[in-house]
Structure 1
Amino acid sequence: MPYDPLMVKPMKEELISAGFTELLTAQDVDNAVKAPGISLFVVNSVCGCAAGGARPGIKIAVQHSVKPDNLFTVFAGQDIEATNKAREYFKGQPPSSPAIALMRDGELIGFMPRHAIEGSMPEQIADALTKAFDQVCTPAS
């Protein structure tokens, strides 16, 4: 059974307000994966490591001068269909929430599972992400 929408709304808004597009259905995910360029997909969740590390770290990272072309998010435990579809594209990775995936033209090129997020400070997560962005993203002109 999905989480209460009122409970997760503020957690979703943290990323939406940072420029992420919320994906609610499997079709939304299929369409997002087709977006050209580099895409950052976040599997958001209610857990403490999402609140204390992942979301704040992601919000810092997307302020970097070099960042993905597209920012997408699904919410585990709430948008179940969309989350399951997104995980299908994270080939070779076990289901994880929270999780952060970098994709290039629909192919997974980087993945940060929950165990890499747990115990990390937001600045550590942001640092790991911005280093990845610097390697695979094109600087904005």
Structure 2
Amino acid sequence: MYPEELIAPMRAELSNVGFEEFRTAEQVASHLGSEHKGTTLIVVNSVCGCAAGAARPGVAFAVENAKIKPTTLATVFAGN
């Protein structure tokens, strides 16, 4: 588990562009198992360089510039 002060800015990169944060496996399962209509994009966030250099900036760019967006944007943090 990473200290919250280390990962808070990484969480914010996605929540600032509209991603809902799931903090537990139960939250993910509940959302995916619900009568939810539409599509869900779940991004697995991480402290690794790949997430910082490509995943978070790439997905933020994609959703900010998309003509059609998923109904729900969600994120989970790996290792926490």
Give the structure-1-normalised TM-score. 0.53
What is the total number of aligned residue pairs between the two structures?
Answer: 77
The CA deviation string for residues 40-84 of structure 1, in whole angstroms up to 9 with x for no partner, is 001000011100100000001111121101011000011xxxxxx
Separation in structure 2 between the aligned mates of residue 72 and residue 45 of structure 1, nearest angstrom? 14
- Opposite residue 57 of structure 1, the aligned amino acid is G
Listed as ranges, the matches of 1:107-118 within 5 Å are none
- The answer for the alignment partner of 2:14 in structure 1 is 15
The CA deviation string for residues 85-120 of structure 1, in whole angstroms up to 9 with x for no partner, is xxxxxxxxxxxxxxxxxxxxxxxxxxxxxxxxxxxx
- SS of 1:37 mapped into structure 2: coil
Which of 69, 72, 92 is equivalent to 2:71?
A: 69
Separation in structure 1 between the aligned mates of residue 78 and residue 37 of structure 2, nearest angstrom? 25
Instruction: Report the alpha carbon displacement of residue 26 of structure 1 after superposing the two structures with TM.
Output: 2.2
- The answer for the alignment partner of 1:110 in structure 2 is none
- The answer for the alignment partner of 1:30 in structure 2 is 29
The structure that has the greater radius of gyration is: 1
- Opposite residue 28 of structure 1, the aligned amino acid is Q
Gaps in structure 1 of 5+ consecutive residues: 79-141
CA contact (8 A) 1:41 1:71 kept: yes
- Bigger CA drift: 3-12 or 18-27? 18-27
Separation in structure 1 between the aligned mates of residue 6 and residue 79 of structure 2, nearest angstrom? 12
CA-atom RMSD in angstroms: 0.9
- The answer for the alignment partner of 2:56 in structure 1 is 55
